[in-house]
Structure 1
Amino acid sequence: MTETDGERSVFTLTFDAGRAGPLAALDTRLLQDSPVAVNARVVLVLTFGALPAVLMDGIVTTVALTPGDRPGQATLTATGEDLSLLLDREERDVEHVGLDDPVQVLAVLAPYAARGLVPLVVPPPSADPPLPIERVPTQHDTDLGHLTMLAERHGYVAYVIPGPVPATSTFYWGPPVRVGVPQRAVSVDLGPETNVTAPPQFRIDALAPVTVEGMVQDPLTGRAVPVRSGPSLRPPLAARPLSVEYAAELRRRRLRQSGTGIVGAFARAQGQAERSGDAVVADGELDGARYGGVLRPRGLVGLRGAGWSHDGLWYVREVEHELSTGGYRQRFSLAREGHGSTVPVVPV
């Protein structure tokens, strides 16, 4: 199962579908009466000790049968996606008269409450309510496509969080979660306390940070006003951001937005710059048993043992969970804006 903050989370389940006994004389039983069928809703729960965690709440999209090369052997593979699939089935043309972006999000998500999808919307720092006599926000996409487009305007993310109890999920629309209590620490090169299966790889993407600038016409005065993104407004995770260290070499992008006011233009320029700010990435793999928990994306995690440049707090961008008999591995991708820890101690 793969969870990410940029795309829909997906899962794959593999079952033994071997034919045995008189009831399977004509066909494998998993194709006759299996609850894991196309369009079925599947909830995956993982329990560590006495604490259950909902790993996935999703919809099966593909079922594949692979016959074995010996009698009685076969496998059935079910692949699916999280509940945001429900929002991506129908393209619609809708006018959201007088609704600002966060209110549009609530209006779009309201019909999905009956399916156990609860909205969690964080208003952006700047508001630009549309006056009906000036402009009318319109939707020409699926509900998910529209919500994602609105999120990108502000440097926000839009995704489904499974749980906290089975058959319920939360649709989060807001900034990447870079505050709060970090998850259990990822430990590197610390002897018996090491919980990674191999040292993580740290890489720098010098092309990631950008500045955004352009011109926008004031709808009231008709004058052209220069627009430029400023320093990041996100809580810092690194002591030495690359966007500051290499400010002269940053890529510059033009703001190509029309039909909005000055406030909206500045918000979109800042949002585009914020989305590109994480220039340092760490990729690795955890031993689930030694880690003793479930690493979740879209939040913070501490990393220790890799040296001052890479120790500290990181944003968890993606986690791939692989569960098998007797084993649990978690491949992760972490990101932040630069080098150096901002905290003296990483919580264990």
Structure 2
Amino acid sequence: MTDIEDQVELQLDKLPSEQQTFGDRLQEDVSGERWSDCGEEVEDPLPLLDDAALAPPGGKHAACSCDPEACCLLEVKCLERSLQSMQLQLQFFMTKSDNLHDCLMNGQGHLDRDSLAAVIPSFLRTCQPYFNHLESTARSTVSQYTSTPDICTKLLDFSQQLCDRLEQLVLAFASYNLLCLNESEPNSTSHFCIGQSRLGQLKMTVFRYCKATPYLARVDTGLYKRMRWNVERLQNKPKEVADEEQNGDSKEAEAETVGDTEYYFLCYEDIANTHTVTDSDSQGVCYSGTVRMWSIGQWVQVNPNPTTDDIYDWITCEVPQAIYHRLLFLGSDEPSSSGATDYLQQLLLSRQTKD
């Protein structure tokens, strides 16, 4: 073992075992039924998950005092040790999803189905800190460390597994008319958040539509969306402004502010496919049909005009209208949610490089 590895092991031994403690408590949740199987929340697990998902691997006040190479190795080893905890959390969410699905199918439990359906939106929100942790850790790590591709792949696989399971859960409840998937309805559960991550000065929040949804609510464009990415462009505040805010408030001032927000979508459209077959014995025979093509594009608003200063244009417009600016053609096979985010991330990073 090298001197740097010895130093890293010493640092790891000194770090508080918060991840392990959380894993033990979560295992107790899974086996001890602190959440009832049919929707009664005995103890809300959200604060517990927030603490585990958002805290640094070694504790809130952990700091690395070693040299940069050792710090990098320490970070990698922390990621390796956290994989087991992340897998345990995945097991917890998958088990809860299965239990809710079983209660729906079997009609068991003291809650009626309408009350059970009301648990689903809350359960989706409870999963969000876990999604955030997986996505931000894996995607930020990809750009920082070249020695952790296996770890990042596993974290994104956990995210994909949970996304697929939650989508099936929502569809099952919708098939019993217990959840609405119509995006235009106020109480709709048409989509849910599957993570947030940073790409330099960009903050990307990802949403998954449970089923193909028309690109525009009131206009048939032939486009159907399956994912949405809200990409916020973060801007550094001028030093004078940041100092003034910090002097006027005892809390730490934010060094960044949100600028413009761009919206990207994963969509498909059915395109007419006509071709002619000829042979030596017959004239050309024309065959026609449709092929489903997938693409990633950007929402470009046209009504109301996004640059207008007339507030009445916004008040009188019930539903904004926009065109779909295609950026990437992905072919006839639907990509996974994780794969589609990979494509968009590469596009955004290439744009940052050019800028």
Answer whether TM exceeds 0.5 for this pair: no
- Hey, which of these two has a bigger chunk of helix by percent? 2
Q: Give the TM-score taking structure 1 as reference length.
A: 0.26
Higher relative contact order at CA 8 Å, sep ≥6: structure 1 or structure 2? Answer: 1
Bigger fraction of residues in strand = 1
The TM-score normalised by the length of structure 2 is: 0.25
